[in-house]
Amino acid sequence: MSAATEVSGFVRRVTAMVRKEFIQLRRDRVTFATMIMIPLLQLVLFGYAINTTPRHLPTAVFVHENTGASRAILAALKNTAFFTIDHEPQSEAEAEYLVRSGKVLFLVEIPAGFERSLRRGETPQLLVAADATDPVAAGNALSSLSGIVTTALKRERFVDEAGSQPFEIVQHRRYNPAGTSQLNIVPGLLGTILTMTMLIFTALSVTREIERGTMESLLSMPIHPVEIMLGKIIPYVAVGIFQGVLILGAGMLLFDVPLEGSLALLSLATLLFITANLATGYTFSTLAQNQLQAVQMTFMYFLPNILLSGFMFPFAGMPVWAQWLSETFPLTHYLRMVRGILLKGASFADLQTDFLVLIGLMLAAMAIAVARFRQTLD
Amino acid sequence: MSMPGPEVAIEVEGLSKKFGDHVVVDNLTMRVRKGQIYGFLGPNGSGKTTTIRMLCGLLTPDAGRGTCLGLDILTKAREIRQHVGYMTQKFSLYTDLSVRENLEFVARLYSVPHPEDAAQEAIKRLGLEGRGKQLAGDLSGGWKQRLALGACILPSPQLLLLDEPTAGVDPQARREFWAQIHDLAADGLTVLVSTHYMDEAERCHEIAYIAYGHLLAQGTVAEVIAGSGLVTYVVEATREAHTPGATLAAIGKALADDPAVAMVAPFGVSLHVSGHDAAALEAAISPHRTEAGVVWRQETATLEDVFIDLMQRSKDNMS
């Protein structure tokens, strides 16, 4: 055989193969859709939603005196894009609750007698408590705070234009005073690793039965879809608990992650979170035609989870639509809970909103899965 | 339709199923009496599997109605499943579970009391002793089939639906399999079995032949053959023929296009020539009856002749 015919044969065979692959790809609508959706999703999420120098950080201002200076500071803080003043607590307990429950990232406290001290040139203290469980979010905003307040006070003539900074900012980095990123990352990893593994386990479970042909047998036997679902979820709850203990144990041993809150509460949150993810994965399994599609759906879902939940980038820095989207991810709520319990010593009362939403998400996923489960081969 | 009596296991009327625009089962009506072995025959893609799946509630019929064990197939699918054993065409037990684990799983799903004991008993009955711990996926074809049947009858069903249970199984295993089916039927179990094998069809009490979604013939083997109205002649090459193959081929070729001849099929050193009109067929073959090296005789049509004829006629009707 001549070299030319050998080459043309090679080209023909490769072309035939390429053609076949394209035909199969075109027939597999879900794969095709993910091919388009993953890059688009990445672009939109990275481009619009993620902001490593976040603005509009939820902040509470606790004003102990009603004076011109404190009003000037409040107005200035409200005017900047860095902070959003959502709360003006009236008591110490309320202020404390806002920080511990994660409703605000900053608590600015203007003490009584601030203006008088200012006028006397006594360099009064402005107290700022920052939730440092997310060091990235806290850092940038803190550094801009003194500038904002100084400008405001100078503009309102409380202090001289030329003088040095007339007050002192006392910063208190709560929960993670050293700003150690491991304290932020380890609880976050607990959530993301569990999300990934739990989703994959159940996402494959129904499609595997269909692909192997065992589903036909299973469906011909007297078992209800809810029973199949529970039977497939429960074993992985045990796996998830084992993984959780492993990650947390390693985190405590290697990175000195503290456990400020209750272990029972953490276990309950983790159990709910694991189940919610397993139910979500199971839902994918009922939607996908085969195992490949199930894996692709899992990745489609996992990507925004990682990017928007507050694991990688500050939650507070995202636009509102992205925040709302991420509220539908169990991971977002779990991160708040696990950071709250581990680092802040948060109680059930502090986290009850996240608990309720997580339960809601879990039940919704289960309901969709059972409704979608094909009891026949139609 | 009258209420099915207690002696009826399956009774369906006007059952139809479409996939997209393709009609797979068209207006199928049949009745299977209890304790019978009912053979379900037809070419590939004729709707056998679809019909079986509709009977056990795995597919929803587009039209028609019927009962399985006196339970409505449209509304009582769950109850039907409790009393029906369905053996799928493709091995559908868990290949990554052992023989024992598979049987125990089935026993538990059907709430069989003492599932471990039931599985052990099934293993013994199946002759699978010593293989209980073997993975089901590692079994040979014949043993897989035996295990699948064992799993089907473990929960003591009243009706067995077997979809081509002996495909790819050796003759010895097939014979044993059929012996077991007859034992089960003798105990009162109803068996609906689909197959391609003519010898298996002849082991059934009654048969139904479907092609392209239509039920074409139904009854005992003798009834189906008689009902076909097919007249068959066998031409056999004698020892005097120098080239028996060529001689028969020439006769076959000459007759194939004759309108009186429905079909010509070679069987070793003989040829089956069949037609519907006895007189016309006789006229057609008469020039060849005197040829040297062959002998002609009239025989009863075989079941295979009947089925191929039915299939061809139904294909002609469709086009």
Q: Determine the pLDDT at residue A51.
A: 64
Question: What is residue B309's three-state secondary structure?
Answer: helix
Helix/strand/coil percentages in chain B, nearest 5: 40, 30, 35
Q: Determine the pLDDT at residue B5.
A: 54
- Closest Cα in chain B to A214: B92
Q: What is the pLDDT of residues B235-255, one digit of tens each?
A: 998 887 778 888 888 899 989
Q: Determine the pLDDT at residue B1.
A: 42
State how far residue B164 is from chain A, nearest Cα, in angstroms. 15
> Residue-wise pLDDT tens for chain A (378 aa)?
577 777 777 777 777 777 777 777 777 777 677 667 766 676 666 666 666 667 788 889 998 888 888 888 888 888 887 888 888 888 888 988 888 888 888 888 888 888 888 888 788 888 888 887 777 777 777 777 888 888 888 887 777 766 667 788 887 877 777 666 677 778 888 898 889 888 988 898 888 888 888 888 888 888 888 888 888 888 888 888 988 888 888 888 888 888 999 999 999 999 999 999 999 999 999 888 888 899 999 988 998 898 888 888 878 778 888 889 999 999 999 999 998 999 888 899 999 999 999 999 999 999 998 888 877 777
**In B, which residues are within 8 Å of A223 by CB distance?**
109
Cα dihedral: B170, B173, B176, B180 (round 10)? -110
Considering only the beta carbons, identify the residue of A217, A224, A376 that sits closest to B88.
A217
Q: Determine the pLDDT at residue B206.
A: 95
**In B, which residues are within 8 Å of A235 by CB distance?**
none
Question: What is residue B232's three-state secondary structure?
Answer: strand
Provide the 8-state DSSP code for A122: -
Q: What is the pLDDT of residues B74-106, one digit of tens each?
A: 999 888 999 999 999 999 999 988 999 999 999
Question: What is residue A219's three-state secondary structure?
Answer: helix
Q: Domains for chain B: give ranges and CATH numbers.
A: 8-225 (3.40.50.300), 231-300 (3.30.70)
State how far residue B93 is from chain A, nearest Cα, in angstroms. 6
Q: What is the pLDDT of residues B160-197, one digit of tens each?
A: 999 999 888 888 889 999 999 999 999 999 999 999 88
Compute CA distances A137 → A175, A305, B110, whole Å.
14, 18, 57
- The CATH architecture to which A57-174 belongs is 3-Layer(aba) Sandwich (3.40)
Interface touch B82/A222, C-beta < 8 Å: yes
Q: Determine the pLDDT at residue A173.
A: 78
**In B, which residues are within 8 Å of A205 by CB distance?**
none
Structure tokens at A64: 């102990």
B90 contacts chain A (CB < 8 A)? yes
Interface touch A376/B56, C-beta < 8 Å: no
Interface touch A219/B58, C-beta < 8 Å: yes
**Nearest-CA neighbor of A70 among A88, A58, A96?**
A88
Interface touch A376/B92, C-beta < 8 Å: no
Compute CA distances A210 → A221, A285, B237, whole Å.
15, 10, 53
**Nearest-CA neighbor of A138 among A315, A356, A302?**
A315
Structure tokens at A31: 């794969």
Above 70 in pLDDT, residue B261?
yes
CA–CA dist A36, B294 (Å, integer): 71
Interface touch B58/A220, C-beta < 8 Å: yes
Q: Determine the pLDDT at residue A102.
A: 82
- Facing residues of B272 across strands? B234, B265
Amino acid at B35: G
Q: What is the pLDDT of residues B282-312, one digit of tens each?
A: 999 998 888 888 899 999 998 888 988 888 8
Above 50 in pLDDT, residue B273?
yes
E strand or H helix at A225: helix A225-255
DSSP B155-191: T--SEEEEESTTTT--HHHHHHHHHHHHHHHHTT-EE
- Reported as half-sphere exposure (CB side, CA atoms, 13 A), residue B199 has a value of 5
Arithmetic mean of pLDDT over chain B: 89
A230 contacts chain B (CB < 8 A)? no
**In B, which residues are within 8 Å of A214 by CB distance?**
92-94
B81 contacts chain A (CB < 8 A)? yes
CA–CA dist A89, A9 (Å, integer): 79
Q: Going by C-beta distance under 8 Å and a sequence separation of 6 or more, which residues neighbour residue A65?
A: A110, A111, A112, A113, A114, A115
Interface touch A220/B86, C-beta < 8 Å: yes
Domain spans of chain A, in order of start: 57-174, 181-372
The answer to whether A137 and A316 have CB atoms below 8 angstroms apart is yes
